[in-house]
Amino acid sequence: MTKKTNRIIITCLVLLFNLFILMFPRDMVAAARHGINLWLSSVFPALFPFVFGVNMLMGTGVVGYAGRKLTPVMTRLFGVPGAGGFAMIVGFTSGYPIGAKVVSELRLRGEVSKTQAERLISFCNNSGPLFILGTVGASIFANLQLGYFILSTHYGAALVTGLLFKYYKYDRREHFASRHQPTHQMEALTFGDSVIRGVQTMLAIGGFITLFSVVIEIIKISGLQAMVYHLFGQIVASGLLGIIEVTNGTKYLADISGGVMGRPTAVTIASIISFAGLSIHAQSLSFISKTDINPQVYFLGKLVHAGITLLLGIGLYPLFF
C-alpha cells in the first residue's frame, strides 16, 4: 500500500475511534478506568521493580561481566555477543516489554550491531513467569498445571526462535568478530535517575494498556467479537481479543471454556501469550523506534515464536494433562 493509502486508513480508524467515544462515553470511560486499574493493581507492582533494577544494573558493569562470561555460549548458539546474554536473562525473567527495552538500550549504547540487535529482539521479549504462573495459571484459570505447560512451551519456543534467527544475515566474519568484541562501560545511573526513568517507562506502558482497553471495548460494542464467535467459534473469538491484548484474550477464553482444559484451549492460550498482542507490540515499538532495529524483524520473530509454541504445545500437552 502507498503512504497515501496508509494515511487514509489510519485517518478513518482514528475517526471511528473518536466516534465510538462520542457515542458511548460511559462505556469508554469505564473501559479506560478498567485499564488504569489493571495497570495500577497488577502491571505496575510486577514490572516497576524490574525496570528500576535493570536501569541500575546496566550502569554497574554487569553487562560487561555477562559479556565476558557468556560470549562463547551466546555466539555459538545465537550469533550475538555475550552482552546479549543480559538481554536474554532479563527478557526471560521480567516480562514484556522490558526485553525490548534492554535490547534497544544495548543497541543505542553500541553493545550490539543492528543485525545482532534484530536477532536478539526476535526471542528476548517474552512474558514473565509471574504473569504466566500467577495471573494466568493461578488466578484466571486456577490451574497451575496450565501455568507450567505455558511456561515450558513459551520459553522453549523462544529458545528455538533464537536458534533459528542466528542465521538471519549470518556472516562468519561477524561471528568471529563477536567472539572477541570488547564490551563497553555504560554510563552509571544514580538511584534517583533509575527511579525517574522507571516511572517514565511505566507511565508509557500504562498509557498503552488504557488505550487498548478502550479498543477492546469498541470491538465488543461493535459486535465484531460476537460475529467472529458465531462464525468461527470460541477459539478464534478469543484469539481475536488476544491479538489485541493478551490478558483480555486469556480471560475471555477462561470464561467461555468453563474451566475445561482441553488441548485446543491450552495450546491457544500458550500461542496467544507467545504472540503477545498489539498492546505489547505498541509498547515494545515505543523502545525499538528509538533505534535502527527493523520492526518487521521483531514482528516476524513474534509470529515464529507463536507458531513454534503451537507445535510444541500440541506435542507436550499429554505430558501435563
Residues 166-201: tens digit of each pLDDT: 999 877 655 544 444 444 444 556 788 888 888 888
For range 251-259, the mean pLDDT: 73
Burial of 92-110, coded b for 16+ CB within 10 Å and e otherwise, reads bebbbbbbbbbbbbbbebe
Task: Give domain status of residue 30, yes or no.
Answer: no
Distance (Å, rounded) from C-alpha 233 to C-alpha 243? 16
Task: Give domain status of residue 133, yes or no.
Answer: yes
Confidence of residue 147 (pLDDT cuts 50, 70, 90): very high
Task: Give domain status of residue 128, yes or no.
Answer: yes
pLDDT of residue 189: 61
Task: Give domain status of residue 286, yes or no.
Answer: yes
Task: Give domain status of residue 23, yes or no.
Answer: no
Q: What is the pLDDT of residues 93-117, one digit of tens each?
A: 888 888 999 999 999 988 899 999 9
pLDDT of residue 47: 78
Q: Describe the crossing of helices 246-257 and 234-244 by its angle, rounded to 10 degrees.
A: 160
Nearest to 302 by CA among 104, 137, 97, 140: 97
pTM for this one?
0.83
Cell numbers standing for residue 128 = 514473565
Look at residue 158 and tell me whether its pLDDT is greater than 90.
yes
Task: Give domain status of residue 119, yes or no.
Answer: yes
CA end-to-end span of the chain, whole Å?
Answer: 46
Distance (Å, rounded) from C-alpha 47 to C-alpha 170? 34
Task: Give domain status of residue 230, yes or no.
Answer: yes
pLDDT above 90 coverage of the chain, percent? 42
pLDDT of residue 306: 96
pLDDT of residue 172: 63
Kindly report which listed range (122-131, 241-250, 286-295) carries the lowest average pLDDT score: 241-250
Task: Give domain status of residue 220, yes or no.
Answer: yes
Count of structural domains, the chain: 1
pLDDT of residue 260: 63
Distance (Å, rounded) from C-alpha 105 to C-alpha 85? 14
For range 310-319, the mean pLDDT: 95
For range 237-264, the mean pLDDT: 78
Look at residue 249 and tell me whether its pLDDT is greater than 80.
no
Show the domain range for 269. Answer: 35-320
Look at residue 259 and tell me whether its pLDDT is greater than 70.
no
